Amino acid sequence: MRQTVLLGGFLCLYATAAEADQLTLKNGDRLTGTIVKSDAKTLLLKTDFAGDINLQWDAVTSIVSSQSLHLALKDGQTIVGTVTTTDSKFEVATKETGPVAAAKDAVVSVRNDAEQKAYDDQIDRLRHPHLTDFWSGLLDTGLSLTRGNSESVTYSLSGKAARVTDRDKISVYTTAVYANSTVNGLNSTTAHAIRGGVRGDLNVSEHLFVFGFTDFEYDKFQDLDLRNVVGGGLGYHVISTKATTFDLFAGGDYDQDYFGAIAATATTPAKAAVTRKNGEVDLGETFNAKINNRTTLTEQLSLFPNVSDTGSYRFQFDATAATKLKNWLSWQVTYSDRYLSDPLAGFKKNDVILSTGVRLTFGKGAF
């Protein structure tokens, strides 16, 4: 009876080993489990008792698989079948052409059926993305308060979301700032501005792209009820790497400004509502750089010479430096400048926002 139990246990162990993939390492060790994937740097082996094991690809000298594996080669081919190793070469038993040999240094990736399906689905998604795919974004916020002899609150909020693929980019953005103070019982609002817009970029070649945008702006202290700008043009990717991007762009737009009426007071006369509608040239650049593993810098400058009222112009400049505290949390400093060469009488030309606070991020790829 005892011999029967031992024999049964031995047969179970043998059957389990026969159904598992087997790896041989340079030091002679042998491991069994399920090969999941390899990127020619590390190989992931799922085992019953040791869990997931990451092995150096260079340390693997032999593979004997019980399952079909997908081996992608340097020449672009992918061969599929069970794998054995002979004379330092992988022998793949394919269904279509029979045994095919592949040198180990020609293999760039290995995937089992499940990993290959996930990879194919991802490639298909990249080639034919839905509008809801690949969105990432950030939310910057800053708050300061004072209490005592004076009471004040200053709040800034900035958000951006972007959908980026190899072919196009859609950006949605907004910024708001509000400041209020009370001194000796007198309450006053010292800042109240909202800006936002949508922009789309479409690559027509490796370096050339076309773009279109619409911007909206409200600024109480320029007496600006609404500025709406619709435009587009051509751009050029001067630098495009994972760490740094630098683009130049040029085009045109149509700018509509609606300045509200101001009622007369004891010290100031009444001002009628003013509407301005102008054609503009749009010239600018954008720069994004990863300074190190934790800090990023983004910057954009746009100049808008007025072609309807020659000599007038405006420009926009935005720059943000952010240092990552966690993957989803950063500390940011933002500088934003809006300049109008011909504001309404009694108003200054420049409006500047300098804010600092936390940044929350979601998604990957854009920021």
Residues 118 and 173 in one domain: no
24 inside domain: yes
199 inside domain: yes
The structure tokens 């709040």 sit at: 155
The pLDDT score that the predictor gives to residue 267 is 65
Last residue of a domain, one of 103, 127, 151: 127
Residues 81 and 139 in one domain: no
* Tens-place pLDDT, residues 35-53: 999 998 999 999 988 899 9
Percent of the residues in the chain that have a pLDDT greater than 70, as a whole number: 91
Residues 167 and 93 in one domain: no
Residues 189 and 44 in one domain: no
Range of the domain at 77: 2-127
- 266 or 171: whose pLDDT is higher? 171
| Region 233-253 average pLDDT | 96
Residues 98 and 171 in one domain: no
Side-chain-side CA neighbours of 148 within 13 Å: the count stands at 2
pTM greater than 0.75: no
Residues 96 and 200 in one domain: no
Residues 115 and 227 in one domain: no
The pLDDT score that the predictor gives to residue 272 is 80
The pLDDT score that the predictor gives to residue 152 is 87
| Region 211-239 average pLDDT | 95
175 inside domain: yes
63 inside domain: yes
Residue 263 — pLDDT band, cuts 50, 70, 90? Answer: low
The pLDDT score that the predictor gives to residue 9 is 45
Q: Per the structure, how many domains does the chain have?
A: 2
Between CA 219 and CA 344 the distance in angstroms is 13
Residues 36 and 143 in one domain: no
Residues 245 and 123 in one domain: no
SS (H, E, C) the chain: CHHHHHHHHHHHHHHHHHHCEEEEECCCCEEEEEEEEECCCEEEEEECCCEEEEEEHHHEEEEECCCCEEEEECCCCEEEEEEEEECCEEEEEECCCEEEEEEHHHEEEEEEHHHHHHHHHHHHHHHCCCCCCCEEEEEEEEEEEECCCEEEEEEEEEEEEEEECCCEEEEEEEEEEEEEEEECCEEEEEEEEEEEEEEEEEECCCCEEEEEEEEEEEEHHHCEEEEEEEEEEEEEEEEECCCEEEEEEEEEEEEEEEECCECCCCCCCCECCEEEEEEEEEEEEEEEEECCCCEEEEEEEEEEEECCCCCCEEEEEEEEEEEECCCCEEEEEEEEEEEECCCCCCCCCEEEEEEEEEEEEECCCCC
- 239 or 11: whose pLDDT is higher? 239
The pLDDT score that the predictor gives to residue 265 is 65
| Least confident interval from 12-16, 184-188, 250-254, 343-347 | 12-16
Residues 240 and 270 in one domain: yes
- Check pLDDT > 60 for residue 105: yes
* Tens-place pLDDT, residues 286-341: 999 999 989 999 999 999 999 999 999 999 999 999 999 998 999 999 999 999 99
Residues 33 and 53 in one domain: yes
* Tens-place pLDDT, residues 164-174: 888 899 999 99
- Check pLDDT > 60 for residue 359: yes
CB atoms near residue 65 (< 10 Å): 22
Cα distances (Å, whole numbers) of residue 152 to 158, 178, 183, 191:
20, 11, 9, 12
Residues 22 and 51 in one domain: yes
| Least confident interval from 16-25, 56-65, 183-192, 216-225 | 16-25
